[in-house]
Structure 1
């Protein structure tokens, strides 16, 4: 067993496809298949089940992935640091983002990053904050920007404090520019489901104020929520970032929430025992800067 076999195995596990894994590694597919076969032969265990859905990892593969991923990540971090001191940054960055950030901030940030660091490949995972925290904990992600949870064992750095707004569409009855949470709670709302971190935050604000949110429709897709509000007579409560493009072109109207203001706290999380590799740290810096610039 050598480093190359471990690297090939980890990438194949993450991609679930020989074609995608070979492309990410910049090698031909037979070379990847041969190394994985040799690894299986050496371990006397089947690591993947070949199917028309791709490469399905076995229980042994999952155990191996959990053990080898931190080792590989540390090797890549050291390699990237050495290369950085000698010139252009290279390597692979694995970052996680919630949907409320990814859909608006990510495109421009990725364009800038790819121009500045053409030698770095990138994987961006969009998921709930809870899933992203688990990804950083397990080593599947180098770092992530998440809604700050109440309990956190990871290292966290403040990114942005952002207010929720009440958003309405052109068909909605007139609403003042500023509304209290009590007034907003009486409107018919479309909100994310209770599995979503934003919904949990909203329910926490409502419970603290002794209020009940009049949710008549639940949708986890934030773009879908925006479309429903834009085309109908429902309203929503979401961070401004999640609605920015529609607010900018007038498809939605934002109403500031007062008494109390609802604020979410975004943090960048990383593992306390695994420093963020330079490629991921550079990507995180670009993302945070774009996020703060858009907020301003």
Structure 2
């Protein structure tokens, strides 16, 4: 068996979340899959999956290997199917994603495929709603800010790109913060500032506060609007502070209408996933996945 076969088996386990599901997809026995995985782990001198009740849980080396090999392997597979029948450039792909990422990155990245004959129907929404639509067969592919939970069986997730988060405010608001106190007790120093959020659960903001300050934000919430572009506008207008992906905040930071309110040694990241239903993907969906992964390689963290 070639090393390429071992990598293909690894990728099936990684995407499907279990050795059993990978064996079914590859039409081989589970012991054969286990043997191939053991051989690859021996060659790499690394454990790639931890066994648990949730199935095969990827380790950090597995995440890194998947990032390196997924796009080349998919491209090789695509060459066998796309050139044979041309179906990758035809048909309709129903894509779900957040509106901000769709407008700024996904539409430009996928425009060449649409020009080549692919029809793309895009649904905008929050991650959990989109994943439910995918599981129910209403969507073909979702760019999700969360990895599907174990309760959403039948879905396969692949890391796509990382978002980098920044805490921002207007220059006037930033000057209202005591810098000495911010260095000593940032939670207390920022507590008087109202927050603008895109959801009642404060998902991005809560993650940033817990990562950087060790607790949920005690701040009052001044506005909730389910669109990060509107959150950005509200912060610029002085409604409050917020945590935003850097790709959205960068133009306002460069223009001076916003400032970084808090500096970190390592910027908090959130991984976005490409999620499909388990099983072999039609050539058109595989083509969209490949195009997005190829473009993401040029973006770096967003």
Is the TM value for this pair above 0.5? yes
* Cα separation, partners in 2 of 1:99 and 1:244, compared to 1, 3 Å: farther
Count residues in correspondence. Answer: 209
Partner residue of 1:222? 228
* Cα separation, partners in 2 of 1:156 and 1:120, compared to 1, 3 Å: same
284, 292, 295: which one aligns with 1:290:
295
Contact 1:206 1:213 in 2 (8 A): no
Partner residue of 1:90? 90
After superposition, residues 171-186 of structure 1 pair within 5 angstroms as 171-174=172-175, 182=187, 183-184=189-190, 186=192
Say whether residues 1:99 and 2:102 are aligned partners.
no
Say whether residues 1:271 and 2:293 are aligned partners.
no
Deviation at 1:270, TM superposition (A): 1.0
Partner residue of 1:281? 286
* Cα separation, partners in 2 of 1:272 and 1:110, compared to 1, 3 Å: closer
* Cα separation, partners in 2 of 1:181 and 1:269, compared to 1, 3 Å: farther
3-state DSSP of counterpart to 1:258 = coil
Distance 1:292 1:251 in 2: 30
Q: Mark the runs of 5 or more structure 2 residues left unpaired by the alignment.
A: 1-79
After superposition, residues 20-39 of structure 1 pair within 5 angstroms as none
TM-score, L = length of structure 2: 0.58
Partner residue of 2:123? 125
* Cα separation, partners in 2 of 1:246 and 1:210, compared to 1, 3 Å: closer
Q: Mark the runs of 5 or more structure 1 residues left unpaired by the alignment.
A: 1-80
Contact 1:161 1:264 in 2 (8 A): yes
Partner residue of 2:206? 203
Contact 1:167 1:235 in 2 (8 A): yes
Contact 2:174 2:261 in 1 (8 A): no
